[in-house]
A and B are shown apart, each in its own frame.
Chain A
């Protein structure tokens, strides 16, 4: 079974702090994604990566950056955390395919910025 592991289940940070959210997958997937999930807004794509050192902006990249130095690891960085970044963050991975490659999600990191 594919396993996508997010380093923290719950995280509390202060406004202005630099925050790192880590995600590791064990299935040699090419694609990795970061979404945030907020009530009533569904899942919104922040950034994705289709290869090592490659990254693409999603729909809401402002205030975030990412790093993919190794194939199995995809990090989301909040350069200066703000209260409006309080959210559930979900990492996912998939193989490169023709659209029918399902996303495999981690269990999420609930980030609170105070």
Chain B
């Protein structure tokens, strides 16, 4: 089977840097994705890592270590609008389906 673990909640202040970790167990790992979901909204795609290392997209970066079955999402220069839930998701080499973690609620305060 597949399982993903991420913290349930993280708090930070505006302007700070926060890291949301994700560890996973899966057979035939293909890649790790991150999605953001604001309250009442649809999840939206943030990033995808198939290879080890850091991928940077503006204020957000995502890291993957395949040997450690571990990844993280790094959010820099936090803004109030970054308050949302963040989900990691793994794709295995089976069919093209994503399995999601339970999500991390990020609360950004002034």
Contact = CB atoms under 8 A, between A and B. Distances in A.
B95 A50 contact: yes
Interface string B13-35: 00000000000000000110101
B100 A102 contact: no
Interface of A: 4, 31, 33, 35, 40-45, 48, 50, 56, 58-59, 90, 94, 96-108
- Interface size class on chain B is 20 to 34
B44 interface: yes
Contacts, number: 61
Interface of B: 8, 30-31, 33, 35, 41-45, 48, 50, 87, 89, 91, 95-103
B75 to A, nearest CB: 18
